[in-house]
Structure 1
Amino acid sequence: MLGDFHVHTQYCQHGADDKMEAYVLQAIEKGFTHLSFTEHAPLPESFTDPAPHRDSTMDRNKVEAYVMEGKALQKQYKNDLQINIGFEVDYIRGYEQETQTFLDMYGPEMDDGILSVHMLQAPDKSFFCIDYSEEEFERAADAFGGLTPLYKAYYGSLQASVEADLGHFKPKRIGHITLVQKFQLAYPKPADFSKEQHLLLDLIKNKGYELDVNTAGLYKAFCKEIYPPAELIAYAAKTGIPLVPGSDSHAAGGIGKGFEYLSDYSLHLPQRLTL
């Protein structure tokens, strides 16, 4: 295994307090050669975090400290580990310009990045963080008028994220594309969305983007599978989409967790974002 390319830090307001160096030491101990820090980028300034505790991302005032700490670790461990500094960026429909403004500002500092959908706007204009909790997911489904329209909105937003113009520093890896299934054992998938999923993967392929193969879902009580599951990973691999492994770890001990389930796949290093 080359490395873990979806990792959060102490700057995440809903993660552990483990310092970035602790993640680095874990990666080295596991024999990895690469590690990408992809902290949740701050949400657009005009957008209100819909999560109950408003803790979805890092504090905007700590972005500089995060980048500086990452760069210091790059120098300190340059002979032991290729450390990438980047962000997991939320795609939120209607906030593309503010998102691009952030990327234009910090893109030159980014080695790697992920573009993900966590936030969806319901027909009544309210927003929901769909992966926050089982209760919030139920509230979102009610606001959308059921699970089927919620799923359709999720895949529609993912497709829009791939197609969106977010400037030169737009992340080229699409994150956990079946996150909407995080609570599937409590709220079973209401229909077959393979058409939407395959369309999404075809868009990713046509754009020359990468797929986040994310093991975090294996350890979620109501998911118990990789994001995305095996049949979609196989489809992506068949079409030639680069598969980039990520634990989505929010604690140092989670580095590489579940990667033994990825041994059958041909995995890739991410594209360098600043090239």
Structure 2
Amino acid sequence: MIAYGDFHVHTPFCPHGSNDQWEHYILNAIKLGLSEISFTEHAPLPISFQDPVPNQDSAMAWSDLDMYLKKGEQLKLQYKEDIKINIGFEVDYIDGYQEEIQSFLDQYGKQIDDAILSVHMLKAPDNQYVCLDYSATEFANIIKQFQSIEAVYKHYYQTVLSSITVDLGQYKPQRIGHLTLIEKFALKYPSPFNDQTIIDEVLNKIKANHYSLDLNTAGLYKPDCLSVYPKLEVARKAKEIGIELIPGSDSHQSTTIGRGFEQIRELLKP
């Protein structure tokens, strides 16, 4: 029986997820003995931003926002005796779109219970944007665009640093998502980049801003990763310096709620 919550879960409103009914996520969480669950759907991308993935399905549609929030509120009431449900967003930090991101947060921040700030999109040297976790094939193309895998890693962590320090207003998410997502394809494209110094800088900025970290088990089930995000040595360092680790499965289907939590149990002990 799992004694904690799953705080990074998606819904049928995710266009690249499953068609599982929202209620099934909740029922599986209750079955696992979770006391709390956060639905953090991919917030709509800035209107002026061109989604770089082929199907342009990285985030929920603007037209679904009101229905998402309304349905979420209904479910919170329906299951309030069984589990605490939080409704929120996983917000993309995209370099160059800070004003639009803050505008979204200013408009919807007061309506949500939880949020994560994540980096999926990188600004390439040609000023076009790429999605770093779309596929191994696309990651190979990104390496070519940046001219080296070291340059990709370095730019990713610099973008994460920017996400931590940028002013996005009073509703800026206080949790940083899947910190080592850049390693999703690390077994296929290993990097010689020594990221210890820049990761230490990232952790220190997270600590200084009193933010928490998404302890994300999804990477355990990615064939070219097989690791939690952030990787264990980073998660341990974060815990050592007093950063709160928040467990999340990053589920895009109802059957993976709480998946892999047995592998992070030690990190969640006080």
TM-score w.r.t. the length of structure 1 is 0.96
The answer to whether structure 1 residue 105 and structure 2 residue 107 are counterparts is yes
The answer to whether structure 1 residue 42 and structure 2 residue 25 are counterparts is no
Extract unaligned runs of 5+ from structure 1: 269-275
Which amino acid in structure 2 is aligned with residue 54 of structure 1?
A: Q
Which amino acid in structure 1 is aligned with residue 160 of structure 2?
A: L
8 Å CA contact 2:24–2:254 kept in 1: the answer is yes
Distance 1:266 1:36 in 2: 17
Distance 1:40 1:47 in 2: 15
Q: Deviations over 1:114-134 (max 9, x none)?
A: 000000011111111000000
Task: Pick the aligned partner of 2:257 from 246, 255, 258.
Answer: 255
Once the two structures are aligned, what percentage of the paired residues are identical? 50
Q: Deviations over 1:3-29 (max 9, x none)?
A: 100000100010001121111101000
The answer to whether structure 1 residue 148 and structure 2 residue 150 are counterparts is yes
Name the SS for the 2:185 alignment partner. Answer: coil
The answer to whether structure 1 residue 125 and structure 2 residue 154 are counterparts is no
1:190 offset after TM fit, Å? Answer: 2.3
8 Å CA contact 2:40–2:89 kept in 1: the answer is yes
TM-score w.r.t. the length of structure 2 is 0.98
Distance 2:214 2:269 in 1: 10
8 Å CA contact 2:121–2:130 kept in 1: the answer is yes
Name the SS for the 1:182 alignment partner. Answer: helix
Distance 1:189 1:21 in 2: 41
8 Å CA contact 1:243–1:267 kept in 2: the answer is no
8 Å CA contact 1:245–1:267 kept in 2: the answer is no
Extract unaligned runs of 5+ from structure 2: none
Pairs aligned (count) = 268
Distance 2:133 2:54 in 1: 12
Q: Could you tell me which residue of structure 1 aligns to residue 160 of structure 2?
A: 158
Structure 2 matches for 1:197-236, cutoff 5 A? Answer: 197-236=199-238
Distance 2:18 2:261 in 1: 21
Q: Could you tell me which residue of structure 2 aligns to residue 11 of structure 1?
A: 13
8 Å CA contact 1:87–1:113 kept in 2: the answer is yes
1:181 offset after TM fit, Å? Answer: 0.4
Task: Pick the aligned partner of 1:266 from 246, 265, 268.
Answer: 268
Distance 2:83 2:269 in 1: 18
8 Å CA contact 2:249–2:258 kept in 1: the answer is yes
Distance 1:196 1:22 in 2: 40
Which amino acid in structure 1 is aligned with residue 239 of structure 2?
A: A
Q: Could you tell me which residue of structure 1 aligns to residue 177 of structure 2?
A: 175
Q: Deviations over 1:184-241 (max 9, x none)?
A: 0110022210111111011000000000000000000100000011111110000000
Q: Could you tell me which residue of structure 2 aligns to residue 241 of structure 1?
A: 243
8 Å CA contact 2:89–2:116 kept in 1: the answer is yes
Q: Could you tell me which residue of structure 2 aligns to residue 64 of structure 1?
A: 66
Q: Could you tell me which residue of structure 2 aligns to residue 271 of structure 1?
A: none
Name the SS for the 1:38 alignment partner. Answer: strand
Distance 1:218 1:171 in 2: 25
1:267 offset after TM fit, Å? Answer: 5.6
8 Å CA contact 2:153–2:193 kept in 1: the answer is no
Q: Could you tell me which residue of structure 2 aligns to residue 30 of structure 1?
A: 32
1:34 offset after TM fit, Å? Answer: 0.1
Which amino acid in structure 2 is aligned with residue 35 of structure 1?
A: I
8 Å CA contact 1:215–1:246 kept in 2: the answer is yes
Distance 1:245 1:227 in 2: 10
Which amino acid in structure 1 is aligned with residue 144 of structure 2?
A: D
Greater than 2 Å deviation, 4+ residue runs: none
1:146 offset after TM fit, Å? Answer: 1.0
Distance 1:128 1:207 in 2: 28
Which amino acid in structure 2 is aligned with residue 55 of structure 1?
A: D
Which amino acid in structure 1 is aligned with residue 70 of structure 2?
A: M
Which amino acid in structure 1 is aligned with residue 15 of structure 2?
A: Q
Q: Deviations over 1:89-117 (max 9, x none)?
A: 00001100000010011101110000000
Name the SS for the 1:89 alignment partner. Answer: strand
